[in-house]
Chain A
Amino acid sequence: MNDILAYSRWCLGVVILILAWEITGNRGWLGSTWPPLSSIFDYLNSRPNLELLVRNAGVTGVNAVLGLLFGTLIGALLAILGFLIPRLYPGLSTFATFVNALPLIALGPLLIITVGEGATPVAIATLSVFFSFFVAAISGINQTTAIQRDVTIVFGASRWKKLRFVQLPAAVPRLFDGLKLGASAAVLGAILGEWFGSGSGLGVILVSAMQNFQIELLWSAALFGTLLTITGFGFISLIRIAFFRRYL
């Protein structure tokens, strides 16, 4: 009974939201920059508009995926390194806190020179993913209890074996959470990177639409960015389900 109530409340909320959006847009209560939902759909209805957005979303998507791959890889490697060589751990942990606090946008100027304008979106996406994944990996690996660790010591396992058989399996849920965070971080990083002079991508469209008062385009680009993130979430969830089914 409670579930049905909660679900219907949720649906009601969605309906009210959509209606409010429509009315606000139509009446112009929030000014010309808040279009009714219907006009956004109208805008997307036209073929060339849609193509423009899909094409650029694709570019951003590719950047994000590459960023996700590299970022996860580097994050995982460093986390494992920090675990296998305990001396390095304090430095790596400080590094993680440090990079987590860095504003990504500040890296833009730094990166366009070092890796070039074309690769900047991927670079920022990589760093963005690395930040969140590294923290999740480190915390995941460290979460096994002292007792579990003691048991492996008594059985004479080497650090590597301990990692492989005890800590990594235990860290898996956190790692997947980290991947999920990484998905949204990747899209965010890719868009941000595109602001630093890349030729195409949703980031470029967002900025130019903003500057040129192309409201429907602006909202549509944001919508596509959201769709990319949601697709990323979905993809990770699918992998997670498949993984758990296979190994558990």
Chain B
Amino acid sequence: MAEFQKETLGSPLDGSPPTSVMQPFIEIDGVSKRYHLSRSDYVDALVDISFEICRNEFVALVGPSGCGKSTLLRMIAGLDEPSDGVIKVGDDHPRELIAKQRVGMAMQEHGLMPWLDAVGNVSLPFRLAGLPIDPERVEELLELVKLSKFSNARPSQLSGGMKQRLSIARALVLQPDLLILDEPFGALDAVTRRMMNQELQRIWSRKPTTTVLVTHSLEEAVFLSDRILMMSPNPGTVISEYPVPLPRPRTLETSREKDFLSLVESVTARLDEICATELLS
């Protein structure tokens, strides 16, 4: 992990898409997911999805509700199996990555343990991996998410935003090769959300990790990612791809600039188009 240098994916704003020189880290090939409701009844959640993600690339999955983004994310994380097709993470099955504890996850429901304090929660991955706890690393991460003062606080004593920061610290503590973010800021209010986006951006830039983010917010997707993949409504498939060539580090100011806003606009327009078709059909 440490030996891979971050490829500068942000290129000058001349509109040219970033070129990925490195080998793809995640390969998704012809993936489908079918749920059987009864012996003859089934529903296709995902159909024939294929794309690649490079190492240390930040990819956002967006799309209307029910398009299967979270299902796809779970399969990349190794928590679920596709009905058809192949997912490879670093030439291995995603479960291999889990077996080596190289995956970090932060979800909308923070999933923190209420009976542990902040330090305990961030230390938990060490225990689960059977590794000795590295207190310096834990402290480093709490500093990174600016929760050092709350080391001994329990999740119930923290605000929503703080809980998510803690959840992210926990996801990063073992220096994962793959970071999975499933609408981590979905439950927060708009103001906190903007702040959290900036925080995440700052944290990620310190040590870029291959990340797949599922989000409902297009601003968030543009702000955080290198590339946006838009999915169609059920049955879900990837129908559009938007590179985000904005330079890093990105700040809240970046989010008010023309290039940012026009990118958000084009992505939003496309989403509206998809949803309108959905409504009419």
Does A touch B (CB under 8 Å) in the complex?
no
B residues near A (Cβ < 8 Å) are: none
